[in-house]
């Protein structure tokens, strides 16, 4: 077997390794400028994800196999771009579960002279420069991913509404017809981690799946997702339809139906695809400030600084008053019925639990740190049209109600869901008149199941 290529943390690359990666990306961009239809150019891989050539696969247990194959093909093109200089180039990963080396992203992506820099991103620093220089929480630090995502042993589930609770990979949809990039249910890594990072943390073009690949950070972001899947595979089995064919992706340059990637072609990164990861975790974020620790009645959700309701007034707030149960129950699940999933924009559903009489101060950082339970992102559908499709989504409230049952049993509390449209600067994003936004993102009902 040939020596595998090694994918590294972008902050661990030598200056020459980083320069070679940047050079290879520049070569792919130049190829596309000369010939937009070239299968060796950057535009080809953008169109595999964003356009008619794919589409990418999401909300299905083919999500990670599809993106692994897409990354592999992109990496192969990088190595072909200018040999021998690019013979050993690999896609570096960005460990977005660790504090960034730059102000918000790895330094390589904040260098305005680099091909990796992109204008359309959020650029607010994570660490404040005034006062004590403290850092905000990361949306999904590694400890959170370990506890809430990488611990889920089941790969897929037939229950689409519960897929983000019960499965690592997503709804067991198997092979898609490629008329739309979305299946029926996100897995635990894709929702909310992948979706939130795309939208609320990175933003700009990355907030819109129809233009996400225009930002070169896309590849390093997804490379870390692929690394997380590889680490998950060290303990658990990818139990799915291994023969499922992936939309638009071919194992060689002959684009014949029989040459399409199948899920089974993506399971072993070293033996099948020729690469391994050198995992060097970055510095973890700080623990929450002591004043926030003292105030909250249940564990803080680390994304409280990054939900859409932290940045803008939500378009819709729906609420349900509940009685906190006595200790001894097994589970509590909030059901959002009839959530609109085919809208011309992405939006979030930020879930809060607070005393029934307390004002929902969503613009107040302490309130969010104290009362945010979870969040969901509903991605804009960029392929297949706006068909008015809706589905039920389930949010696990155990992390809030179990601690509350020990101290507040019998009290009336309020579960509130704040719906907010994403603010994207993507140049091709479809404009939605302000008056139509609330109607487009509305959902049917809230209900709580305690068992």
DSSP string, 115-152: TT--SSS----SB-SSTT--BPPPSS-HHHHHHHTTT-
pLDDT computed for residue 129 by the predictor: 53
Q: In whole angstroms, what is the distance from residue 364 CA to residue 305 CA?
A: 10
Q: Strand, coil or helix: what is 279? A: coil
pLDDT for position 216: 97
Specify the range with the lowest mean pLDDT, choosing from 95-109, 225-239, 429-443.
Answer: 429-443
- Signed CA dihedral, 243, 172, 157, 140: sign only: positive
Topology annotation, domain 5-278: di-copper center containing domain from catechol oxidase (1.10.1280)
Query: What's the pTM value of the predicted model, to 2 decimals?
Result: 0.92
Do 302 and 374 contact (CB within 8 A), yes or no? no
Query: What pLDDT does residue 134 have?
Result: 60
Domain boundaries in the chain? 5-278, 311-450
- 232-253: burial string, b at 16+ Cβ within 10 Å, e else: bbeeeebebbeebbbbbbbbee
Distance separating the N- and C-terminal Cα atoms of the chain: 53
pLDDT tens column, 129-183: 544 556 677 899 999 999 999 999 999 999 888 888 899 999 997 788 887 778 8
Residue 112, pLDDT > 90, answer: yes
Residue 388 Ramachandran class (φ > 0 left, ψ -120 to 50 alpha, else beta): left
The three-state secondary structure class of 170 is strand
Give the number of other CB atoms < 10 A from CB of residue 107. Answer: 14
Q: Which two tokens stand for residue 375?
A: 């969040």
Distance CA 192, CA 247 (A): 23
The CATH-assigned architecture of domain 311-450 is: Sandwich (2.60)
- Angle, helix 15-34 to helix 63-80, in steps of 10 degrees: 90
| Cα distances (angstroms) measured from residue 15 to each of 10, 106, 117, 324 | 10, 14, 16, 56
């Amino acid at each position: 077997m040939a020596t595998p290529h090694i994918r590294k943390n972008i902050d661990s690359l030598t200056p020459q390794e980083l320069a070679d990666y940047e050079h290879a990306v520049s070569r792919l961009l130049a190829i596309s400028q000369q010939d937009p239809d070239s299968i060796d150019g950057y535009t080809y891989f953008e169109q595999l994800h964003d356009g008619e050539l794919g589409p990418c696969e999401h909300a299905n247990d083919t999500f990670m196999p599809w993106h692994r194959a897409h990354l592999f093909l992109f990496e192969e093109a990088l190595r072909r771009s200018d040999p021998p200089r690019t013979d050993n180039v690999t896609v570096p990963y960005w460990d977005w579960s660790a504090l960034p080396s730059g102000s918000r992203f790895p330094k390589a992506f904040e260098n305005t002279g680099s091909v990796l820099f992109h204008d359309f991103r959020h650029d607010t620093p994570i660490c404040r420069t005034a006062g004590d220089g403290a850092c905000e929480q990361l949306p999904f630090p590694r400890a959170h991913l370990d506890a809430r995502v990488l611990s889920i042993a089941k790969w897929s589930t037939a229950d689409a509404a519960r897929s983000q609770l019960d499965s690592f990979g997503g709804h067991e949809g198997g092979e898609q017809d490629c008329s739309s990039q979305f299946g029926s249910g996100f897995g635990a890594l894709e929702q909310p981690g992948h979706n939130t990072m795309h939208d609320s943390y990175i933003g700009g073009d990355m907030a819109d799946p129809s233009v996400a690949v225009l930002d070169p950070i896309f590849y390093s972001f997804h490379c870390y997702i692929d690394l997380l899947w590889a680490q998950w595979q060290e303990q658990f089995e990818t139990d799915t339809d291994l023969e499922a064919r992936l939309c638009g992706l071919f194992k060689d340059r002959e684009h014949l139906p029989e040459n399409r990637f199948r899920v089974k072609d993506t399971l072993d990164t070293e033996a099948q695809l020729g690469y391994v990861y050198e995992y060097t975790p970055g510095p973890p974020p700080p623990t929450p400030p002591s004043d926030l620790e003292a105030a909250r009645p249940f564990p803080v959700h680390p994304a409280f600084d990054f939900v859409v309701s932290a940045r803008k007034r939500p378009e819709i707030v729906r609420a349900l008053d509940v009685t906190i149960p006595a200790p001894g129950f097994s589970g509590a699940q909030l059901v959002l019925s009839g959530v609109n999933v085919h809208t011309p924009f992405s939006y979030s559903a930020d879930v809060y639990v607070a005393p029934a009489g307390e004002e929902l101060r969503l613009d107040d950082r302490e309130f969010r740190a104290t009362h945010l339970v979870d969040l969901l992102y509903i991605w804009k559908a960029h392929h297949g049209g706006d068909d008015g499709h809706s589905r039920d989504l389930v949010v696990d409230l155990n992390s809030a109600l179990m601690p509350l049952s020990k101290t507040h049993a019998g009290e009336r509390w309020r579960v509130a869901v704040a719906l907010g449209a994403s603010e994207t600067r993507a140049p091709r994003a479809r404009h939605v008149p302000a008056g139509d936004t609330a109607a487009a993102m509305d959902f049917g009902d809230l209900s709580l199941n305690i068992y």
